[in-house]
Structure 1
Amino acid sequence: MDSSEMTNVKDLLMKASMEIAKLASSLDHYVQDDNNPEHKKLFEEQVRDANEFHADIDDLIALLTLGQSPF
């Protein structure tokens, strides 16, 4: 993977990471506003999954920023 490909992948991952963070934030608002315990549990799981995925993407971005291929 050359430098320009790594930059393109990094840019796409950064966009994805920001969108996932927005999604996690939106889901968190639903958790706060929903009084149904089953819904709360589902939303909490989705927020946790989104945050974990966000962290994984950030790790890939860090490697690409350092010029290392994560693949």
Structure 2
Amino acid sequence: MSIAAGNTIFVVALVLILAFGATMLWLTFRNTDRRRGSEVDEDFVNRQVREKRSRARWHEPPPPTLR
């Protein structure tokens, strides 16, 4: 194998490793704002939870599913 072919393989492998690392970083940090709760409307969330609980309490349970 020539030096040029070896260099090409090395560069391609390096680019793939860097792309993988960048993808992992992006997947890790893309939801950071949502996790911190910076834009969460607590009144809205509490209202949704209350409605869900009241529906679950007063309505009959869903029919059983066939497995």
TM range (shorter): 0.3 to 0.5
Higher relative contact order, structure no. (Cα contacts within 8 Å, ≥ 6 residues apart): 1
Task: Calculate the TM-score normalised by the size of structure 1.
Answer: 0.42
Please say which structure displays the higher CA radius of gyration: 2
Task: Calculate the TM-score normalised by the size of structure 2.
Answer: 0.45
